[in-house]
Amino acid sequence: MPQEIEPKWQQIWAERGVMKASDSSPKPKFYDLVMYPYPSGDLTVGHARNYVMGDVLARMKRMQGFEVLHPFGWDAFGLPAENAAMKRGNIHPETWTLGNIAKGKAELKMMGILYDWDREVTSCLPDYYRWTEWLFLLMYERGLAYRAMAPVNWCPVDKTVLANEQVINGRCWRHPDVEVEKRDLEQWFFKITDYADRLLADLALLDKWPNKVRVMQTNWIGRSEGAEVEFPVVGLEGEVVRIYTTRPDTLFGATFMVLAPEHPLVERITTEEHRARVREYVEKARKETEIERQSTERAKEGVATGGFAINPVNGEKIPIWVADYVLITYGTGAIMAVPAHDERDFEFARTYSLPIREVIAPDDGPSDTLREAYVGPGRLVNSGEFSGLDSATAIDRICEWLQAQGKGKRAVKYRLRDWLISRQRYWGCPIPIVYCSVDGIVPVPLDQLPVVLPKEYKPLADNPSFWKTTCPKCGEEARRETDTMDTFVDSSWYFLRYTDPHDATRPFDPELANHWMAVDQYTGGVEHAILHLLYSRFFTKVLHDAGLIEVSEPFMRLFNQGMVKRFGQVMSKSLGNGVSFDELVAAQGADAGRIYEMFIGPPEEDVEWTDAGLNGVSRFLQRVWRLVLEPEKIVVEGSGADASALSRKVAQTVGKVTEHFDELRFNTAVAALMELANTMQDYLQRGGERDERWVGAVRTLVKLLNPLAPHVAEEMWERLGEKGMLADASWPVYDAAVAAEPRLTLVVQVGGRVRDRLTVEPGLSEADALAAAMGSDKVRGALNGRGPSKVVYVKDRLINLVP
RNA sequence: GCCGAGGUGGCGGAACAGGCAGACGCGUCGGUCUCAAAAACCGAUGUCCGCAAGGACGUGCGGGUUCGACUCCCGCUCUCGGCACCA
């Protein structure tokens, strides 16, 4: 197999513009998207797995007659560029980034991965980020971008704030060893919480997403239903503590209240006598890290404020405490404590000898609420007029009562918080806002976009030539916003830019976006199960509401590929276990590498890269080459070649491979092709004729191999044409007619009950089908010792079967 | 603790609207070629008994349904992922 065929075909594909997507093609569209990468410059064959999958799918869909949009781009803003710049002295982040992009692009081409490079998107270039700024202003205009002072997560290493989604177990997502700090800062937020209900509800539409991802998003959004209730504070006229509870049926069991240490009422409620201790406690809580505070292991501690509140349902006077097991960030930052029916409250009550009153009796026997909290539903006791009701009814009734009395109302809460998008970094998309002492916050007018990132690499706040400006409204001196945006803002809409990448007047043409959207297949790592996918869904919904796009969900089908490991660790250049594209192509060629990436294991699983495995795939390709172009070299070693078995195998393989490709089960698709090659080899070894049937098998093998090993397949196809073995030597088209040939199913009934189904060869006569059915173990087993039975064609044609 | 996904040869893994378990590949063993080795090619390869024909046992464990269970049901167990004081 000659080596030089790879550059040859890569050049031909480029010249022919094979992967250029036409906006006006009459063919059905297929939008095949891979998550655009951060150009870190350490691309290995591990990363390539994702791109090979996308390419195989794109090539297959093209062969099947789709107009395929298969674009690529770069998530080019972000911290690693700044870190590299710092480490290497005077390299500008842009130089570093664009250099890596050029390198990465060449490597992808080397693997025969085809994109419509005319649509390439690079998020750090002004012709892209201009529209990121534009979209920020759209958010602002729609009331979805706001500036607020809030306790935010601060990464002390990256020296910037982080979104909630970027904090994992209280640590920075980029530095698993570094705990984030809480700081009170005024920052920009996107109001993603306005979309919480829709982001949750529409998950139901995404039935082609991995269940795992949908569950993760559901949990992240964290909807809960309950009630907000107001407890008047004793001695403070008109002042109430508002609490949120999911169990209004336990209201009569509230024996105390707890405020989060940060709760604004703490100071006012605390009595003189308790002030010193409360202040000390609040101070201590503030100093603790999130990790310490959020540990469920640790004992619950708190202090009494000396203040009291009135339980609105029974007028009871109950003490108000402060404890850090109540979070200021969830609900109202205050709770009613029902120790008999909440484990946390129970633990707290036991620690401080607070009263425990049972108000829910379990349906199945007595509970012992002095030993442990009963958290399940049951029948209300000790609950005044509501006693005797079951939990569900009581929740309804009590909510109605609260509402009627003006003391509370039903409420829905989410765990999801607004998306903090400010970053105190240079290498990001500028936030197009100006602060004027007269006009306040002033958005940069659309015709003044983009706010260009200055060439000089230093903090924007230290660069007066950047931030010194004039107010767009009044013309007085003003100051620009010097924070940049989270790079996840850039990536929340790039899939839309691909549909209209050169538009100089808007982010995208709605008509083009509507033509290509939604993405039919989206492939990328599961690490974005929440972050990127949630943000992109949010953006899409906002754009939908703004009338810019018809779809309200961006990605119809999602696939998360597993990682490639070597020596037990994820492949990476810095760990020294990476295999580069050059090494791979030099060792066994791009096609062997591509097939190996697909064959190495189930696409969603993590896999271990071995050179021996790659070698095996290489042998397979060599064998195919011999079978297709040099069959005379195969030594005849036996007899009894079965031509009809060969034909059957060919038909079977077409069906299998098509199915497996469609389901992205590339490993079994490759296995099916290997089986076909083995059968073909066996056929020749047994002295099979190289007749029309043989040529048919050869053609099928080459066609099916094309998406996986395009260089070799194209070369073989061309040479077959030269040998006169093809009626038409043009670009191979997937034989949809063969692929779609329906299989005939017999339904086996025994005693009127469907016992089994049996797939038989298509094209059989009724008698032959019957004979086939009777001859199968499946049917014989089903009929074993049974009475009169019958076999039924799926389309209501009955055949009597005599056992 | 809660939620989710999984346990199949020496290894990665196939098969599953119930029907010949172990496809395909790796590895190992034997052979061809070679002075030799590697590569390549050909063949064997679940375990146990047997010279063989053949037989027994086999999909984490224990039950169940069925003519028939890796597949369905019930109960365990272990592994991996996610979330976790969310009131």
What mean pLDDT do residues A94-114 have?
94
Q: Give the distance, in angstroms, between residue A645 CA and nucleotide B15 C1'.
A: 21
- Say if CB A685 and CB A638 are below 8 A apart: yes
Nearest to A656 by CA among A640, A643, A646, A671: A671
Q: Which residues contact A777 (CB under 8 A, 6 or more apart)?
A: none
- Within 7 A of a protein CB, which nucleotides of strand B? 3-5, 12-15, 17-20, 23-27, 40-43, 67-68, 81-87
**φ and ψ of A493, to 5 deg:** -145, 5
Rounded Cα distance between A701 and A651, Å, is 11
Rounded Cα distance between A246 and A229, Å, is 11
Q: Which residue is nearest to nucleotide B13 (CA to C1')?
A: A601
Pick out the nucleotide with least CA–C1' distance to A244: B87
Per-residue pLDDT of A606-637, as tens digits, reads 999 998 999 999 999 999 999 999 988 888 87
Secondary structure of A152-205 in HEC code, one letter for each residue: EEEECCCCEEECHHHEECCEECCEEEEECEEEEEEEEEECHHHHHHHHHHHHHH
Integer angstrom CA distances of residue A689 from A641, A642, A680, A696 = 8, 10, 11, 12
Rounded Cα distance between A293 and A524, Å, is 34
> DSSP assignment, residue A97?
H
Per-residue pLDDT of A428-440, as tens digits, reads 999 999 999 999 9
Rounded Cα distance between A522 and A662, Å, is 13
pTM, two decimal places? 0.91
- Say if CB A441 and CB A208 are below 8 A apart: no
Q: How far apart are the first and last CA of chain A?
A: 56
pLDDT category, A736, cuts 50, 70, 90?
very low
Token digits of residue A278: 């409360």
Q: Which residue has the higher pLDDT, A769 or A56?
A: A56
What mean pLDDT do residues A211-216 have?
90
Helices (H) then strands (E): counts for chain A: 27, 36
- Say if CB A581 and CB A49 are below 8 A apart: no
List % helix, strand, coil for chain A (3-state, nearest 5).
40, 20, 40
Q: Which residue is nearest to nucleotide B40 (CA to C1')?
A: A619
| pLDDT exceeds cutoff 70 at A666 | yes
Pick out the nucleotide with least CA–C1' distance to A678: B24
Q: Give the distance, in angstroms, between residue A591 CA and nucleotide B28 C1'.
A: 28
Rounded Cα distance between A157 and A699, Å, is 59
pLDDT category, A710, cuts 50, 70, 90?
very high
Rounded Cα distance between A362 and A514, Å, is 55
| pLDDT exceeds cutoff 60 at A395 | yes
Per-residue pLDDT of A140-171, as tens digits, reads 999 999 999 877 888 888 888 888 888 877 78
**What whole-number percentage of chain A has pLDDT above 70?**
89
Token digits of residue A436: 């004027």
- Say if CB A245 and CB A342 are below 8 A apart: no
Q: In which order are the strands placed within the sheet that holds A167-168?
A: A167-168, A171-172, A175-179
Per-residue pLDDT of A551-601, as tens digits, reads 999 999 999 999 998 888 888 887 888 888 988 998 899 999 999 999 999
| pLDDT exceeds cutoff 70 at A311 | yes
| pLDDT exceeds cutoff 70 at A799 | no
Weakest mean pLDDT among A179-188, A364-373, A548-557, A670-679: A364-373
A687: left (phi over 0), alpha (psi -120 to 50) or beta: left
Q: Tell me, what's the pLDDT at A389?
A: 92
Per-residue pLDDT of A219-261, as tens digits, reads 999 999 999 999 999 998 889 999 999 999 999 999 999 999 9
pLDDT category, A781, cuts 50, 70, 90?
low
Rounded Cα distance between A619 and A273, Å, is 84
Q: Which residue is nearest to nucleotide B2 (CA to C1')?
A: A219
Burial-class residue A655 by CB neighbours within 10 Å (0-12, 13-18, 19+): middle
Residue with tokens 């009550």: A349
Pick out the nucleotide with least CA–C1' distance to A343: B85
Q: Give the distance, in angstroms, between residue A757 CA and nucleotide B16 C1'.
A: 14
- Residue at A728: amino acid letter: D
**Per-chain mean pLDDT for chain A:** 88
Pick out the nucleotide with least CA–C1' distance to A332: B87
Q: Give the distance, in angstroms, between residue A683 CA and nucleotide B53 C1'.
A: 29
Pick out the nucleotide with least CA–C1' distance to A416: B86
pLDDT category, A287, cuts 50, 70, 90?
confident
